[in-house]
Structure 1
Amino acid sequence: MRSFSKQRTYLPTLRVLPEEQLLYDGSEGSVSTVDEHDETLDFGKGDGTNVEAEIESESRDNEKVQHGVPYELRDEKGRKWWKYFDEFEYRANSEYRKKRTWYTFLYPNHLTQTKAERTLLYKLDLMIGLYFLMLCWCKSLDTNNYINAYFSGMQKDLNMTKNDYINTTAISNVGAIVLQLPFMYFLPRFPAHLILPIMDLGWSFFTFACYRANSLAELRAYRFMVSAFGSAYYPVSQIVLGAWYAPDEISSRVCLFFCGQLLGGVTSGLLQARTYKDLNGVHGLAGWRWMFLIDGIAISIPCAIIGYFVIPGVPSKCYSLFLSDDEIRVARARNKRLQIKDAVDSSKLLSLFSWKIWKKVFFTPAFWVLVVFDTCSWNNMTAFSGSFLFWLKTDHNFSVVKINNLSVLPACLGFVFVFFCAWGADLFRTKWIFMVFSQAMNCISCAILIKWDVSNSAKWFAFLITYFSVAASPCLWSFINDFLRLDPQLKAVTWIAIYSFSQSTYAWIPTLAWKTVEQPRFKTGYTVSLIFSIVYGLWTFVVLYFYKRNEKKNALGNGIILYNSDHGEAPPAFIETEMEKRGEYYFLKEKSKEKQDI
């Protein structure tokens, strides 16, 4: 019999490594090794300069000069007005930008200059990228099953009339909101590879239970619980993605996440059509009931089990079975260079009843800016209103099978829209352009459908581009991740607060805007979506302003030493005393490193 210690190699356990990290030392293709607890030098006080003195006290801990990191000395004299639109102006220095060639934007190794960095990204995409795609597919499949089931006999079997369809959706959304709140406590304290699988098993059970619903009240109870157990998925997955990927890598990976959502929209219609055709009436069960059975048992439960083994936690508290020690060290070094703090010791966490936490959340302008941002993203989505299916059913004499098959067309095009926006954002390091473009396209779609009295081809065009409403979401969530990267506990609390607030609006706004009795035209719904899309596009510039203001405060931590000779400022004194120039960039002197060791 194998000993327990040997069996543990097949189970996720906390990876304890020698406390060292790899950092770029300025020479091509090499790295230096430093102690993980090595304190960097903070030049915010007592150096005779006033550059860092203006920085808010709460961000000083993050603005420290690191050993082995290249620093750009930047004079802001004569800064052009159009630099406002340069999203990465203060997020990354010129060395960071130059080290990544455009054709390697998906798999760069410019931070540590080691093969392990690129291998790390390959493995992460296979583990969490594809896994979250698969899990999002399961969740989307279940959500779309409800829509397809409604048109495949459930409406008649459960006697759903008037606004029962949209009201049931609203009730299920309440379940997600209610059970999200405890994760403000759980996320900083418990590993993701335990949280998600446990919640997913509950989600799978109640998805399976939907097949036996014999009344509308029973179905609503099951859908409430499905959404309640699915509440952990979005915040946990985004926190995990934000802990492993750089700011110019993450949109492409959140794109995989949303592709799972689109894949659910595609496969739900096809599976429902096939199920209705082949299994309707088999063993006395309607076709829509078989879909919930298949989804719960054959798809959702296996995904939950796989998650326990493939979710790696975060770099500083890694549970991965598949990452090497060097790859974990590289991930930690990347986070140190990028100012991403992914976890904190549980003994240092504040109580959720501490006013200090809530003061930081509610009295920070960025929180309210992001709340508006996320609220717009929830309520501009004509793609998930079911309006296309209502139109197919009402204005066309199509069979149930053909309606289910045609329902996949907008989601199929959605893949193109999401990839275009997410990959473009990372390739060009500019999310705002693609966010504004996507909302402009959604406005065109909504305007056509509000007019309604247009040609049939114009309506087809409008419905087929509805997924531009969701195309900006990878960029949105990348923004939120980067805003909140400096404090793990504050990130968990703020993320849940933002998500709960914005999702709560989605629990009641659709009941007013997308009343089932108004189908198939939904003039109110399209008008509301148009308004939210316009606000969403314009609000992107507000977010960009606060994002750049935040990054300018943290510029030193991003490898940029700022001063403005137009204002009579000179380069900080510590450059001459504590740093040395190698080529174009400044590095901390070895003697300063020795001070840190002492």
Structure 2
Amino acid sequence: MAHSVSEKERELDSGSKNDVRLGEARVPDAQPRTLRQKISAVVWDSLDKTPQERKFISKIDWWILSYCCVAYFVKYLDQTNVSNAYVSGMQKDLAMGGNQLNLLTTYWNVGYIIGQLPSQLVLTKIRPSIWLPSLEIIWSILVIGMAGAKNVETLYALRFFVGLLEASAYPGIMTLLGNWYTPAELGKRACIFQASSSAAQMFSGYLQAALYSGMNGRGGLAAWQWLFVFDGIIGIPIAAYGYWAIPDQPTSSKARWLKEEDRAMAIGRMESCGRAPMKKLTWKIIREILTSWPVYLFCTIFIFHVLGIRIYAYMNLWLKATGLYTTEEVNIIPTAGYGAQIFFTLTYAWTSDAIGLRWPLIIVACLIAMAGTIILSVYPEGNIPAMMAGWLLTFLETGAGALIITWINEVCSHSAEHRAIIIGVVETAAFTFQAWVPLLVYNTGEAPKFRIGYKMATVFFGLEIVMTLAILYCAKKWPQRKREETASLSDEGVAV
């Protein structure tokens, strides 16, 4: 009895034995490139392409990234505003204390958790260009409403609904990026998008300091109230822009700024890298998701990532507790961490796309942050420079989150439904843990000298490294393909 393997099986097997470059998404062999083209591709991934494709990429970069980055900037500005408002008068005006700052985050997390997966499911039925901006308009109104809160209980309710509406942003935008960019392009765009959150956190510090000195008491509002008013107002025109800028997906886009040849090129680019378009979501697809490894391992790694990076949100509490800095300085000093965060996030992106691998940069990011949490665990209280260095290092792992989501898009290239649902489940799982773990690990009643917080942050980053290696192993051992394709191979690949 002789066994022979079909040509189709040999072709697919050879693609799956790559070292998980570009997440097992096989790209057709290209013509050999010159050294100049290779260098150009590292600098910016469209420079080595044809003029037509370069023009197309520039166009989608302009429309997609402009909306994604500015929209997420505003969302993350709100998240940071709560902490900055707390140390700038909100704590005193609303008689807050104990663990109530963490509880504000918890209520936001509960809304965020509830909204994540339903929003991703809705995106399989309703166009992102309608769904995402509509939620953003309502979100903006509620953020403005936070300025009128007279007690912390009102803030709890508003934070819940703000989180519920904001739940669509990160997974929805990451799914959108995965529908338009090839594996060689996606890492940069995902990290540029991620960097917009760092820019928002950086800007929030400067904004609160400026409002504290220039707007405090104007119009009968405290500076912390103006912070929420400002954030909500700028969200409305951005949402209106989203109705025009978001192109949905290549096979069904109705964006007026896309020409027919643009749509054809977009579809061809996604087909060339095995990136399947969105189809009807069925129970069969849901079963496939629940019986495959990506959903479980990516959930676990993202949980550790989110719980680890939570630590740097408390830097301003440490600064205030030292008694060495003014309110303006407490808001401004952490912006150095956000500036470094942007630089490192973009460095991870360029390096990751250049080598075609996500996992080495995730590990590097974790090791850098672990150095910071180890310093904070030792807590050299009288050594301000050492403490400052420890805090700033904890900021530098954030960019790994975008690489993890990029890795999901690449591992699950075979199915847009898998990508959308798994990203939604991953985000939901991570923020489910963030809703309660910080209450125990990072109890603000113990701040700034957390009993176990700094040590646990070190453990979270270490476990993230372990999960990175586990995903790498599984991606090599069990590459994701369509079930019908796998069945077809087993039927035709064995001959007697």
Structure 1: which 4+ aligned runs deviate by more than 4 Å?
51-55, 73-76, 83-90, 96-100, 550-554
Residues 27-106 of structure 1 aligned to structure 2 (within 5 Å) = 49-51=4-6, 84=19, 91-92=26-27, 94-95=29-30, 98=33, 101-105=38-42, 106=44
Structure 1, residues 351-391: CA drift from partner, whole Å, max 9, x if none? Answer: xxx3x2332122112221111121111111045x4321011
Q: Distance in 2 between matches of 1:484 and 1:234?
A: 18
What is the distance in 1 between the residues matched to 2:129 and 2:437?
34
Q: Aligned partners of 2:349, 2:32: CA distance in 1, in Å?
A: 18
2:178 — aligned with what? 242
In 2, Cα distance between the equivalents of 1:258 and 1:312?
Answer: 20
* Residue 194 (str. 1) matches residue 149 (str. 2): no
Match of 2:313 in 1: 386
**Using a 3 Å threshold, how does the CA distance of structure 1 residues 423 and 181 change in structure 2: closer, same or farther?**
same
Amino acid at match of 1:295: D
Alignment of 1:312-331 (within 5 A): 312-331=247-266
Establish whether residue 496 from structure 1 lines up as the match of residue 427 from structure 2.
no
Give the direction of change, closer, same or farther, for the CA distance of 1:194–1:406 in structure 2 (3 Å limit): same
The one-character-per-residue Cα deviations of 1:177-212 (angstroms, maximum 9, x if unpaired) are 112232243111111110110110111011010000
**3-state SS in 2 of match to 1:190:** coil
CA contact (8 A) 2:69 2:196 kept: yes
The change in CA–CA distance for 1:102 and 1:494 in structure 2 (over 3 A counts) is: same
- The structure richer in strand per residue is 1
Does the aligned pair in 1 maintain the 2:81–2:227 contact within 8 Å? yes
1:90-144, Cα deviation, whole Å (9 max, x unpaired): 734653784862322433377xx64221111111211111221111110111111
Flag the 1:109–1:316 CA change in 2: closer, same or farther, 3 A: farther
Tell me, yes or no, if structure 1 residue 303 matches structure 2 residue 231. no
Within 5 Å, give how 1:364-379 maps onto structure 2: 364-379=292-307
- Aligned partner of 2:248: which letter? G
Q: Which amino acid aligns with 2:89?
A: G
Q: 1:148 and 2:76 equivalent?
A: no
1:382–1:499 Cα change, 3 Å: closer
**CA separation in 2, counterparts of 1:402 and 1:199?**
35
Counterpart of 1:535 in structure 2 is 463
In structure 1, the partner of 2:349 is 422
Q: Is the 8 A contact 2:441 2:456 kept in 1?
A: yes
Whole-Å Cα distance in 1 between the matches of residues 61 and 222 of structure 2? 39
Q: Which structure has the larger Rg?
A: 1
- Given candidates 84, 94, 104, the residue that maps to 1:158 is 94
Pairs aligned (count): 481
Secondary structure of the equivalent of 2:179? helix
1:171 paired residue number: 107
Change in CA separation of 1:221 and 1:447 when aligned onto 2, cut-off 3 Å: same
Pair 86,178 (structure 1): closer, same or farther in 2 beyond 3 Å: closer
Mapping for residues 280-291 of structure 1, pairs under 5 Å:
280-291=216-227
Amino acid of the structure 2 residue aligned with 1:332: I
Return the offset for 1:150.
0.2
Is 1:123 the counterpart of 2:71? The answer is no
Q: Any conservation in 2 of the 1:435–1:475 contact (CA below 8 Å)?
A: yes
Task: Please provide the CA RMSD for this pair.
Answer: 2.7
CA distance in 2, matches of 1:134, 1:85: 32
Distance 1:394 1:447 in 2: 20
Could you tell me whether the CA contact under 8 Å between 1:191 and 1:313 is conserved in 2? yes
CA distance in 2, matches of 1:195, 1:170: 25
2:411 is the counterpart of 1:474: no
Q: Which runs of 5+ in 1 are unaligned?
A: 1-47, 56-62, 65-72, 563-570, 574-598
TM-score (norm 2): 0.90
What is the one-letter code of the residue matched to 1:102?
Answer: I
2:113 aligned with 1:181? no
1:572 is displaced (CA, Å) by 11
Residue 74 (structure 1) shift? 5.9
1:349/1:438 CA distance change after superposition, 3 Å = closer
**Equivalent position of 2:163 in the other structure:** 227
Structure showing the higher helix proportion among its residues: 2
Q: Provide the TM-score with structure 1 as the length reference.
A: 0.75
Distance 1:259 1:536 in 2: 20
1:545 deviates by 1.9
Q: Identity across aligned pairs (percent)?
A: 26
CA–CA separation in structure 2 for the residues paired with 1:359 and 1:445: 41
Q: In 2, distance between residues paired with 1:433 and 1:97?
A: 26
The equivalent residue for 1:108 is 46
Once residues 485 and 403 of structure 1 are traced to their aligned partners in structure 2, the CA distance between those partners, rounded to angstroms, is: 44
Distance 1:516 1:152 in 2: 16
Residue 303 to residue 545, structure 1, CA distance change in 2 (3 Å): same
